[in-house]
């Protein structure tokens, strides 16, 4: 494995023929006046070693010991180095152990690829009930007692590292659908199609979307990569109410059998006249808005998150031949314990366009943290 890096305001890291089970090197070289168009290539060195570079402003990079191998530039920016390393730390994982050490809380994590690492955290993290649970981690740059101090808190030396600042337990997926629940969904998908097609025939709602060749090709590609998730991928939508469109976006993950699920529906409300204020300031909410992001697991022909459950057996294709002739792919999902909703496949998974700026950022951050993919 090699790491390529470019000097200047931006850093580009590229690992070659390596994976996270190997020690990764992240190199920082902040050199004032160095030609940013030039690049240096370095081969991996064993941890604990140092090497010299033929650069005017950086004479030595010291590689420290860590699960991902911290790289600190002695004459560069320690903070930036730690931030770059932070990008390699697991954002989601199962906590196997918490140990309060002399420098920090040591958190042993198994990620979705079954790779085990130990990360540093604030001592308060060791006081939380995290062992055996799936957790989302947030990191920050901080200082800990230097490893060379060997536990001596008064040695006066410190290391700048990326620490787990916050650990949030993720809700568990809902249980597998029972045979009776699957039968309910199979009936629901037929009833939902009849209702939607009937309203569309009267031009009261949008016509159900045709399943696109683009989505079919996309799923075929993922069928070779991760067959458990392929049938569920895409954006699914319900247009039975023109002012109340619901979308369910299911994104593939870098981790097998995992997906990101983004559910969204705008609030449907009316503005009513207020006699007191003499304006339309009274809001009558007809239907609450929906916005949720969850991590889903696929298996046994089902997809489950903490919010929704789907079954391949409740997927059906039907022709919509009123005014136009095309095939529609429909699915019925179970929301919570009892509510069903029928959706039609509308295209590739996308971040909903109607999201607020805050919601948009939340979705993109969650997708990145969960290791999901936006094409």
**3-class SS of residue 313:** helix
Q: Model confidence over 156-174: pLDDT tens digits?
A: 888 888 899 999 998 888 9
**Lookup: tokens for 134:** 């799936």
Cα separation, 294 vs 303, in Å, equals 12
* pLDDT beneath 50: ranges in the chain: 1-87
Q: What is the pLDDT of residues 180-236, one digit of tens each?
A: 999 999 999 999 999 988 888 888 888 889 999 999 999 999 999 999 999 999 999
Residues 6+ apart with CB under 8 A from 237: 209, 245, 246, 247, 248, 343, 344, 346
Q: Which single residue is written with the structure tokens 């969960």?
A: 370
Give the helix/strand (H/E) hosting 220.
helix 213-225
In this prediction, residue 339 carries a pLDDT of: 86
d(CA 39, CA 14): 12
Determine the pLDDT at residue 345: 96
List of domains in the chain = 1-85 (no CATH), 89-170 (2.40.50), 179-370 (no CATH)
Q: What is the rounded distance in angstroms from the CA atom of residue 247 to the CA atom of residue 262? A: 8
What local confidence, expressed as pLDDT, does residue 33 receive? Answer: 31
Q: What is the pLDDT of residue 41?
A: 34
- CA 236 from centre of chain: 19
Looking at every residue in the chain, the average pLDDT score rounds to 75
Pairing of β 105-110 and β 246-252? unpaired
Residues 6+ apart with CB under 8 A from 358: none
Longest dimension (CA), the chain: 81
In the prediction, which pLDDT does 349 show? 95
What's the rounded Cα separation, in Å, for the pair 305 and 303?
7
pLDDT of the residue at 305 = 94
């Amino acid at each position: 494995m090699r790491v390529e890096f470019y000097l200047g305001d931006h850093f580009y890291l590229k690992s070659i023929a390596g994976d996270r089970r190997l020690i990764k090197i992240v190199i920082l070289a902040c050199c004032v006046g160095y030609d940013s168009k030039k690049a240096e290539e370095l081969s991996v060195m064993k941890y604990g070693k140092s090497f010299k570079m033929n650069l005017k402003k950086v004479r030595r990079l010291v590689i420290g010991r860590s699960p991902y191998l911290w790289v600190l530039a002695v004459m560069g920016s320690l903070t930036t180095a730690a931030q770059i390393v932070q990008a390699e730390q697991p954002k989601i994982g199962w906590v196997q152990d918490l140990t309060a050490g002399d420098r920090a809380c040591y958190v042993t994590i198994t990620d979705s690829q079954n790779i085990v690492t130990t990360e540093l955290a604030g001592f308060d993290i060791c006081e939380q009930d995290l062992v055996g649970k799936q957790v989302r981690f947030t990191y920050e740059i901080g200082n800990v007692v230097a490893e060379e101090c060997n536990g001596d808190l008064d040695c006066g030396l410190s290391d700048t590292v990326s620490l787990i600042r916050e650990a949030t337990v993720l809700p568990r997926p809902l249980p597998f659908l029972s045979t009776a629940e699957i039968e309910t969904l199979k009936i629901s998908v037929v009833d939902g199609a009849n209702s939607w097609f009937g309203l569309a025939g009267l031009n009261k709602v949008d016509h159900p979307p045709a399943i696109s060749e683009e989505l079919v090709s996309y799923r075929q590609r993922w069928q070779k990569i991760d067959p458990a998730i392929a049938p569920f991928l895409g954006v699914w939508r319900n247009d039975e109410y023109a002012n109340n469109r619901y979308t369910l976006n299911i994104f593939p993950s870098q981790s097998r059998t995992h997906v990101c699920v983004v559910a969204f529906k705008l609030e449907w409300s009316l503005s009513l006249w207020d006699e007191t204020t003499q304006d339309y300031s009274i809001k009558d909410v007809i239907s609450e808005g929906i916005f949720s992001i969850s991590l889903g697991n696929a298996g046994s022909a089902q997809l489950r998150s903490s919010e929704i459950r789907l079954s391949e057996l409740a997927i059906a294709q039907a022709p919509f031949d009123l005014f136009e002739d095309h095939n529609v792919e429909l699915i019925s999902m179970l929301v919570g314990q009892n509510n069903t909703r029928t959706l039609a496949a509308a295209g590739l998974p996308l971040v909903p366009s109607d999201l607020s700026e805050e919601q948009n950022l939340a979705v993109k951050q969650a997708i990145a943290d969960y290791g999901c993919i936006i094409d």
